[in-house]
């Protein structure tokens, strides 16, 4: 099994990641002590070296909270969990670095997707506006293309410590754009530990499973650069899948996901058309119950619905046939509609702040 960090397929068999790539499972202690739905609901599935960050959280010592997004398209509800976990670690005592990766988005993707840096910056404004409206603090954000000189100096230093053969062994190919993007990603994750920033301390970055090759590379680099770095830790999260049967969210089929910019009624309509784990008829549903484990409505709620007790009830009512899919869809559509109405109100002020951060004072 190989993993392509730039590929678009879902990693179906997460189990192999534990066996072949040495990811560790989240312990029961961590799951019960870190009160966030991503831990409680198994959205965080594994980690690399997270225990040392956990120790710092529990003993109230500082740690680095570093995450980012590549600005290669519109943000959808699947991205929201990254921002939610970042906020959780900030509230848990993190020193915060949220990267808006506009250069990465442009140089590592084909022109058919991101034709220019300017397009990546437009997405940067869009993505950052949503992130700010979701509660990200502008003080914690930086944009790669506007980052200070020391960061770029450091990215070039990093380039000395990764060879062509190492790069090929990890990623399976060489591509100058992707190499450039990688150097910036390594700098993103490691630079907060430079003496000019926070200095040496544990750091946590939240990634999807296909980003794990980057993490393995950066952990190795941490030990070979001429600084006293703590190898960075990572949490691995699962993807929110698309709304149709078995499908990943797809940019070419907007019906497969709910974008944070969707008009609330459009978003509610997508929810009403989603694939469920229900039975073909109401009578069968009442007799046999539904299957929330394959249901896109339930999955959407698992990632986004804040009420644990109500979610558990819904799961049990589904299995017992006490609820039918129409009711469940209506509840979810209403939740999404209300969420987006509030979110779009906050977006009005966030857009101007995002433009200032991406383009500078104008
Ligand atoms: Fe999904 Fe709800 Fe239908 Fe159960 S009742 S299958 S959770 S939509």
Ligand 1 binding pocket includes 155 (Cβ within 6 Å): no
CA atoms of 133 and 345, how far apart (whole Å): 9
Integer Cα distance of 259 and 133 in angstroms = 14
Q: What is the pTM of this model?
A: 0.93
Closest Cα to atom 3 of ligand 1: 325
pLDDT at 13: 66
Mean pLDDT of 333-350: 98
- Give per-residue pLDDT as tens, 312-339: 999 999 999 999 999 999 999 999 999 9
171-175, 176-180, 196-200, 355-359: segment of lowest average pLDDT? 171-175
Tell me what pLDDT residue 322 has: 97
Mean pLDDT confidence for 96-118: 94
Query: Which pLDDT score, from 0 to 100, does residue 213 have?
Result: 86
pLDDT for 164 beyond 90: no
Q: Would the pLDDT of 6 be above 50? A: no
252 near 266, Cβ under 8 Å?
no
Tell me how far the alpha carbon of residue 42 lies from the centroid of ligand 1, in angstroms.
Answer: 19
Whose alpha carbon is nearest atom 4 of ligand 1? 318
Pull the structure tokens for residue 255.
């019906």
Answer for the pair 109, 76: CB distance below 8 angstroms, yes or no: no
Q: Is the CB of 94 under 6 A from ligand 1?
A: no
Supply the pLDDT for residue 4.
53
Nearest CA owner, ligand 1 atom 8: 325
Give the angle subtended at the CA of 233 by the CAs of 229 and 235, to the nearest 5°. 165
User: For residue 10, is pLDDT > 70?
Assistant: no
Are 285 and 321 contacting, i.e. CB atoms less than 8 angstroms apart? yes
Q: Looking at the CA of residue 328, tell me the nearest atom of ligand 1.
A: 2
Asked whether residue 182 carries a pLDDT value surpassing 80, the answer given is yes
Domain boundaries, the chain: 14-237, 254-359
The answer, yes or no, to whether residue 3 has pLDDT greater than 60, is no
Most informative mutation of 243, 272, 278 for ligand 1 (most atoms within 8 A of CB)? 278
Pocket flag, ligand 1, residue 321 (CB < 6 Å):
no
301 Cβ below 6 A of ligand 1:
no
Q: Phi/psi at 324 (nearest 5 deg)? A: -110, 160
DSSP 59-75: TT--EEEEEEEE-SS--
Q: Could you tell me whether strands 63-70 and 24-25 are parallel, antiparallel, or unpaired per DSSP bridges?
A: unpaired
How much distance in Å is there from the Cα of 295 to the middle of ligand 1?
6
Q: Do domains 14-237 and 254-359 have the same CATH topology?
A: no
**Which of 279, 289, 292 has the most ligand 1 atoms within 8 A of CB, as the residue to mutate?**
292
Residue 130 to residues 122, 292, 302, 333: CA-CA distances in angstroms? 13, 29, 21, 20
What is the reported pLDDT for 20? 75
* Superfamily for domain range 14-237: HUPs (3.40.50.620)
**Ligand 1 probe mutation, 284, 297, 331, 332, most atoms within 8 A of CB:** 297
User: Is the distance from the beta carbon of residue 236 to the nearest atom of ligand 1 less than 6 Å?
Assistant: no
Res 167: pLDDT: 83
- pLDDT of the residue at 220: 93
Closest ligand 1 atom number to CA of residue 291:
6
Q: How far is the CA of 282 from the centre of ligand 1 (A)?
A: 12
Cβ of 289 below 6 Å from ligand 1: no
pLDDT, one tens digit per residue, over 283-307 is 999 999 999 999 999 999 999 999 9
Q: In percent, how much of the chain has pLDDT > 70?
A: 94
Kindly indicate the confidence band of residue 121, based on its pLDDT and cuts at 50, 70 and 90.
very high
Residues 211-233: tens digit of each pLDDT: 888 898 999 999 999 999 999 99
Tell me the pLDDT tens digit for each residue of 229-256.
Answer: 999 999 999 989 999 987 666 666 788 8
Residue 73: partners with Cβ closer than 8 Å, 6 or more residues away: 113, 123, 251
5 Cβ inside 6 Å of ligand 1: no
Q: What is the pLDDT of residues 51-87, one digit of tens each?
A: 999 999 999 999 999 999 999 999 999 999 999 999 9
Confirm if 210 and 2 have CB atoms less than 8 A apart: no
Nearest ligand 1 atom, CA 325: 3
More confident residue, 2 or 16: 16
> What is the residue-averaged pLDDT of the chain?
92
Residue 24 confidence class, pLDDT cut points 50, 70, 90: very high
CATH 1.10.240.10 for domain 254-359, yes or no, is yes
Ligand 1: does its nearest atom lie under 6 Å from the Cβ of 318? yes
Range with the poorest average pLDDT among 48-52, 115-119, 168-172: 168-172
CA-based nearest residue to 24, from 38, 44, 5: 44
- pLDDT over threshold 90, residue 8: no
Residues 6+ apart with CB under 8 A from 21: 3, 212, 216
């Amino acid at each position: 099994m190989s993993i392509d960090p730039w590929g678009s397929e879902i990693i179906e068999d997460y189990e192999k990641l534990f066996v072949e790539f040495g990811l560790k499972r989240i312990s029961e202690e961590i799951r019960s002590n870190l009160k966030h739905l991503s831990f409680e609901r198994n959205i965080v599935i594994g980690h690399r070296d997270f225990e040392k960050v956990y120790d710092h959280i529990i003993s109230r010592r500082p740690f680095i909270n570093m995450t980012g997004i590549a600005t290669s398209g519109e943000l959808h509800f699947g991205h929201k969990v990254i921002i939610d976990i970042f906020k959780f670690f900030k509230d848990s005592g993190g020193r915060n670095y949220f990267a808006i990766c506009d250069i990465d988005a442009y140089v590592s993707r084909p022109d058919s997707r991101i034709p220019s840096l300017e397009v990546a910056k437009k997405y940067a404004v869009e993505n950052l506006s949503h992130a700010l409206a979701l509660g990200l603090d502008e003080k914690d954000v930086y944009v790669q293309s506007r980052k200070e000189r020391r960061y770029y100096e450091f990215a070039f230093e990093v380039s000395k410590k990764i060879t062509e053969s190492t790069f090929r062994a990890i990623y399976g190919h060489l591509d100058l754009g992707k190499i450039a993007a990688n150097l910036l990603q390594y700098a993103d994750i490691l630079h907060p530990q430079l003496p000019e920033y926070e200095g040496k301390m544990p750091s946590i970055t939240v990634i999807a499973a296909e980003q794990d090759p980057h993490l393995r590379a950066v952990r190795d680099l941490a030990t070979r650069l001429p600084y006293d770095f703590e190898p960075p830790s990572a949490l691995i999260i699962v993807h929110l899948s698309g709304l149709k049967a078995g499908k990943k969210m797809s940019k070419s089929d907007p019906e497969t996901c709910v974008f944070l910019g969707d008009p609330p009624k459009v978003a509610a309509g997508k929810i009403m058309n989603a694939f469920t784990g229900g039975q073909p008829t109401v009578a069968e549903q009442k007799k046999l119950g539904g299957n929330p484990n394959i249901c896109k409505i339930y999955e959407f709620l698992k990632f986004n619905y804040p009420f644990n007790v109500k979610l558990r009830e819904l799961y049990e009512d589904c299995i017992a046939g006490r609820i039918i899919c129409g009711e469940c869809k209506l509840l979810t559509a209403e939740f999404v509609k209300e969420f987006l109405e509030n979110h779009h109100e906050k977006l009005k002020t966030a857009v101007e702040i995002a433009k200032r951060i991406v383009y500078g004072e104008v």
